[in-house]
Amino acid sequence: MKRAALGSSDSVSNMEVVSSLRVWGARVIAIALALVVLTHAQTAHADNIGDLVGQLDSDSDKVRLSAATALARLAADTHDKRAIMAMLKAVINDSDKNVRGACAFGLGKAIDGSTSPSIKKLAIANLKKALSDDDSDFVRKQAEKALDALGAGGGASDPNGGTNTAQPTSAAGGVYVNIGPMSSKTGTDDKKLQAQMVAVATSTMGSAAPSYATTWPGGTPPTKGALAQKQVAGFYVDGTLNELKVKEDGSTATISCKISMLLASFPDKSVFGFLNGGASVQASTSPKDEALARGDCVQAVVEDLIRKKIVPTIKSKVP
């Protein structure tokens, strides 16, 4: 029998943390979820900037993402040089695409007329590098929109000086959710677990929000014009398996996993929500049982993030 030990969740600013236990037959899975919504995150105090900048050097993707989103919100109000400098470095140097994307988003909001020309020039250079060189479509989209907001891109910028996020404004014809390809950093069953993440996200979306479409007539994703013509609101969901650990103690193995997901508009892919989830499963040390437990862990986190966080957030944005 597999048993779960519910571990303590990291305390992270600007996050709503939810913990639960899921029982699947003989398996008990401990789950912890966290959500960062950029448009509703609490604004940090100015005296926190130094701490947040320091957290961008953390070994934890979760801590760096929280710091990046907090800096993005804070810098949008204060245009603080320290926050801008930290984000313009992380947008091209951080190993996590969600952190790089959050920093690109933040730069589009943080730089204004009070920013020194030399810093603005450096930020634009780094955003252009992210746009041309980053292997993540998500990061490239955020860099493109930040450049537009700074008047250095080819698209339209927000007349108020912020990123034009093109959020869905009408869903008279329904909601379309594009499920991304998912990714993995673990090096263990990556392709298999990525495919499982896509399948679980798609099936859970269908059961939690049966009126939402995850496919489009013709088999290819809709364009912005096609969505507008049918008055359908478009959203994009993608995720990364960041960690998959196995700890053996005698005949018992504890398998833990951590997954991050993002929620954005579609097809613009302007992000407005970052999500994190983790779970742990106990199993025997047989290779077969550990493989099943890895799948259980990934399935539990993706299912709960979609059902408890992503679907409710989409519902809150659709009139």
161 domain residue, yes or no? no
Are 189 and 75 contained in the same domain? no
> Given the DSSP bridges, would you call strands 271-284 and 27-37 parallel, antiparallel or unpaired?
antiparallel
Torsions phi, psi of 187, nearest 5?
75, 10
Domain count, the chain: 2
Instruction: Answer whether 14's CB lies under 8 Å from 67's CB.
Output: no
Q: Which of 148, 166, 167 is nearest to 157 (CA)?
A: 148
For 222, the 3-state DSSP assignment is coil
The dihedral of CA 78, 42, 261, 214: what is its sign?
negative
Torsions phi, psi of 16, nearest 5?
-100, 120
pLDDT, residue 50, reads 87
Q: Which of 11-15, 137-141, 238-242 has the highest mean pLDDT?
A: 238-242
pLDDT of 193 over the 80 cut: yes
pLDDT, residue 30, reads 56
Are 173 and 312 contained in the same domain? yes
Q: Which of 50, 102, 38, 49 is nearest to 78 (CA)?
A: 49
Are 136 and 107 contained in the same domain? yes
299 domain residue, yes or no? yes
Calculate the dihedral angle through the C-alpha atoms of 199, 200, 206, 208, rounding to the nearest 10 degrees.
-170
pLDDT, residue 91, reads 94
pLDDT, residue 39, reads 43
Are 85 and 210 contained in the same domain? no
* pLDDT grade for 271, boundaries at 50, 70 and 90: confident
The mean pLDDT of 51-56, rounded to a whole number, is 90
C-alpha 129/C-alpha 19 separation (Å) is 39
Are 22 and 64 contained in the same domain? no
Query: Which of 93, 120, 149 is the last residue before a domain boundary?
Result: 149
pLDDT, residue 319, reads 67
Instruction: Answer whether 39's CB lies under 8 Å from 24's CB.
Output: no
pLDDT, residue 67, reads 86
pLDDT of 156 over the 70 cut: no
Residue 257: which CATH number? 3.30.160.150
Are 236 and 268 contained in the same domain? yes
Distance of CA 165 to the CA centre of its chain: 16
* pLDDT grade for 208, boundaries at 50, 70 and 90: very high
C-alpha 60/C-alpha 26 separation (Å) is 32
Are 93 and 189 contained in the same domain? no
Give the range of the structural domain holding residue 252, as residue numbers without chain letter: 16-37+168-317
pTM of the entire structure?
0.61
pLDDT, residue 180, reads 94
First to last CA, the chain: 46
pLDDT of 84 over the 70 cut: yes
pLDDT, residue 204, reads 93
Instruction: Answer whether 76's CB lies under 8 Å from 106's CB.
Output: yes
Angle at CA of residue 256, ends 284 and 244, nearest 5°: 105
pLDDT of 170 over the 50 cut: no
**What digits encode the pLDDT tens for the residues 125-148?**
999 999 999 998 888 988 998 998
51 domain residue, yes or no? yes
Q: Which of 102, 31, 29 is nearest to 61 (CA)?
A: 102
* pLDDT grade for 318, boundaries at 50, 70 and 90: confident
The mean pLDDT of 214-230, rounded to a whole number, is 91
Mean pLDDT of the chain: 80
Are 75 and 90 contained in the same domain? yes
pLDDT, residue 35, reads 54
157 domain residue, yes or no? no
Are 63 and 145 contained in the same domain? yes
Are 181 and 297 contained in the same domain? yes
pLDDT of 252 over the 50 cut: yes
Q: 35-67 burial by CB neighbour count: b if 16+ within 10 A, else e?
A: bbbbeebeebeeebbeebbebbeeebbbbbbbb
Residue 139: which CATH number? 1.25.10.10
Contacts with 269 (C-beta within 8 Å, 6 or more apart), sequence order: 137, 138, 141, 142, 236
Are 103 and 32 contained in the same domain? no
Which pair of structure tokens corresponds to residue 199? Answer: 């399948």
9 domain residue, yes or no? no
Give 221's DSSP letter.
Answer: P
Q: What percent of the chain is predicted at pLDDT more than 90?
A: 42
CB atoms within 10 A of CB 211: 8
Are 83 and 191 contained in the same domain? no
Torsions phi, psi of 66, nearest 5?
-60, -40
Give 47's DSSP letter.
Answer: G
pLDDT, residue 111, reads 92
pLDDT of 219 over the 60 cut: yes
